[in-house]
Chains A and B, each alone.
Chain A
Amino acid sequence: MEQGYPELRIEDLNVVYDTEYGCVRAVNGIDFSIRKGRTLGLVGETGAGKTTTALALMRLIPDPPGRVTSGSIELLGTDIMSYSEREMDAIRGKVVSMIFQDPMTSLNPVFTVGAQIAEAIRIHKNLDAKAAMDEAISIMERVGIPGERAKEYPHQFSGGMKQRVVIAIALACTPQVLIADEPTTALDVTIQAQVLMMFSELSKASNTATIMITHDLGVVAEVCDEVAIMYAGEIVEYGSLEDIFDHYRHPYTEGLFASLPNLNDRNARLVPIKGLMPDPTALPSGCHFHPRCKYATKLCAERAPVKTVIEQEHYVRCLGYEEDAGVALEGFGNK
């Protein structure tokens, strides 16, 4: 495996939202890095902090109520946390792009799709309107939309077509880093695969480092090289696709897989993870997952787990792997 230059490295990222119900700790000390041409899957339930992480990378956390309290975000070797808004405008859409979850609402209803793609090109490539539009049309054709539809408005497009437009906007200036926030969740199942394939091909072709945010392990298996499992604003398990799919270590990861249907054993019952995501204004003490963990002991409610390296890049955040904790995950891995 070629060890490329890390396009993006974030360390100890913390984001909070000040709400009227209290302080929501949405992201708590996340770190990861991605190399050229690789795809990192950020997996977790709704509310795990995936989208907040993505917005923090774009420096687009709505402030107020959101604040990045600490952490560094290194893009191509420079920390962008200290960048001015103007400097950020210069790299957003050019060096780092984002695809949003809902294509229905991501496009401005009063501008033609062509104009919306061309806008990004004009800003970053200093082209005149005509040249930018020509380039926008060629990008549209690359994502599978007939060029003559550039003059149409978003409401004339189907959901899948709209998401293609959104992808075209994100890829318009061939960014080095691409963040895709559940790019297929809002689409019909049949369209999902199509869009995913196209997306994956395009980003591979331009050697982009990609963060794929999803709650769908099927999508992860399809496109990701590395996987980070998020729970309550933390990465609870991180590893290569193989590490996570074949040798997962965290009880939460196990829970995620157990709640998927098994094609090999059709008689197997689905085992849902009991309980709900914790209230983000009052996270449980110790390990945030302990109230829902079937292996939890008394210690899990008291002591917060730290990163434990399993091998190479594969790490887990669970007391069951901390030698001095004496927490045994009895029966782990037996379905």
Chain B
Amino acid sequence: MYRYVLKRLVLLIPVLLGVSFVVYTILDFAPGDPARLVLGSKSSEAAREEFREEHGLNKPFVVRYVSYVGKVVQGDFGKSYRTGRDVSKELLNRLPATVVLAATGVLFAIILSIPLGIVSAIKQHSAVDNVGMFVALFGITMPEFWLGLMLILLFSSFLGILPSGGYGSFANLILPALTVGMPCMANLTRVTRSEMLGVMREDFVRMARAKGVAKRVVIMKHCLKNALIPVITVAGLLFGTLLGGTVIVENVFGWPGVGAFLVKSITMKDIPAVMGGVMLLALLFSLVNLAVDIIYAFIDPRIKAEYSNRRSA
């Protein structure tokens, strides 16, 4: 098994290199002179030249990219044009907030969606199914910023039971997490339902029933384990969407995370900060997908067997 994990880990390296290259190249198109941006238009040409020299801005693209990657590997994301502080420090300060938000959002999505999807599938075309699918459809169609504002309107302003922003306590976390998890929840409910419906039509389900296994057991044991394989894959992919969502949700609720930092950096044309933020979120996404691949291998015997066999052979 750990060979499989190792293989996945090794495969992560070229992907992350590729991602960094793409992001670096795109951001290199950014017009404007960082030196002028940072030092102000009244600065002297000599000072700007010194700034360029210091930040390696005069070197050819490839050289700059390679040295950037070299530094990133050591945990150095450069200095923010805006604040002059280490981007890595800025990011690390904000990372916990984003991780907490994303994790709570995912948890909420999974805890609600899988049971709802199963019930909808078992009671296909029933009232529960119809209501569930209706809610799921709206979860997909509502833009997160608007959903967030509507939740503030309902829970903070109208009912007055939850804070509309802020950071620190669990109460602060509820609305942002709900907002960020909603699209994921809605998608997962639909995927769980359709996968369950698909699996429930399989021959082996009929076979299990013919053995005398009770319907409930067949659904919770035989069907669910099969349906979970694609559901987990989709959950991993949706985590990317969810991370993108944190960027928006953090802005709605004033959540002090990487996403809010990223948007502010974009508006300020703070390229090193944007670069670092995007790279960090991409890394987080890749790590989650790695975790998904590993969970996957534990559930799907086809992968498990492949690796255990090869070792014994």
Q: Do the beta carbons of A109 and B301 come within 8 Å of each other?
A: yes
Query: Using a CB-CB cutoff of 8 Å, which residues 263-308 of chain B contact chain A?
Result: 299-302, 305
| B: interface residue count bin | 20 to 34
Provided the pairs A100-B203, A100-B207, A169-B207 are in contact, do residues A91 and B301 lie with their beta carbons within 8 angstroms? no
Least Cβ–Cβ distance between B44 and chain A, in angstroms = 70
Q: Do the beta carbons of A106 and B207 come within 8 Å of each other?
A: yes
Interface residue? A205 (CB, 8 A): no
Interface residue? A85 (CB, 8 A): yes
Q: Do the beta carbons of A106 and B204 come within 8 Å of each other?
A: yes
Q: How far is the CA of A119 from the CA of B209 in the complex (A)?
A: 11
Interface residue? B225 (CB, 8 A): yes
Majority secondary structure, B binding face: helix
Task: From B207, B210, B225, B305, give the contact of A107 (CB < 8 A).
Answer: B207
Interface residue? A153 (CB, 8 A): yes
Q: Do the beta carbons of B213 and A123 come within 8 Å of each other?
A: yes
Q: Do the beta carbons of A119 and B211 come within 8 Å of each other?
A: yes
Across chains A and B, the number of contacting residue pairs, with CB separation under 8 Å, is: 81
- In the complex, residue of chain A having the shortest beta-carbon distance to the beta carbon of B203: A105
Interface residue? B212 (CB, 8 A): yes
Provided the pairs A106-B204, A110-B225 are in contact, do residues A120 and B301 lie with their beta carbons within 8 angstroms? no
Q: In this complex, which of B202, B210, B213 has the most chain A Cβ atoms within 10 angstroms of its Cβ?
A: B210
Interface residue? B10 (CB, 8 A): no
Provided the pairs A109-B226, A110-B299 are in contact, do residues A153 and B305 lie with their beta carbons within 8 angstroms? yes
Q: How far is the CA of A108 from the CA of B207 in the complex (A)?
A: 9
Provided the pairs A60-B206, A107-B204, A152-B305 are in contact, do residues A93 and B214 lie with their beta carbons within 8 angstroms? no
Q: Do the beta carbons of A94 and B301 come within 8 Å of each other?
A: no
The interface residues of chain A lying within 8 Å CB-to-CB of B300 are 110
Provided the pairs A100-B203, A105-B202 are in contact, do residues A60 and B210 lie with their beta carbons within 8 angstroms? yes
Least Cβ–Cβ distance between B32 and chain A, in angstroms = 56
Least Cβ–Cβ distance between A167 and chain B, in angstroms = 12
Least Cβ–Cβ distance between A274 and chain B, in angstroms = 33
Q: How far is the CA of A169 from the CA of B208 in the complex (A)?
A: 10
Q: How far is the CA of A105 from the CA of B206 in the complex (A)?
A: 10
Q: Do the beta carbons of A89 and B212 come within 8 Å of each other?
A: yes
Q: Do the beta carbons of A92 and B210 come within 8 Å of each other?
A: yes
Chain B residues within 8 Å of A, Cβ to Cβ: 202-204, 206-215, 222, 225-226, 229, 299-302, 305
A89-B212, A90-B212, A156-B305 given; 20 more Cβ-contact pairs under 8 Å: A85-B214, A85-B215, A86-B214, A92-B211, A93-B210, A97-B210, A98-B210, A105-B202, A106-B204, A108-B226, A110-B229, A112-B301, A119-B213, A120-B211, A120-B212, A123-B213, A124-B212, A153-B305, A155-B302, A169-B211
Chain A residues within 8 Å of B, Cβ to Cβ: 55, 58, 60, 85-86, 89-94, 97-98, 100, 102, 105-112, 119-120, 123-124, 152-153, 155-156, 166, 169-170
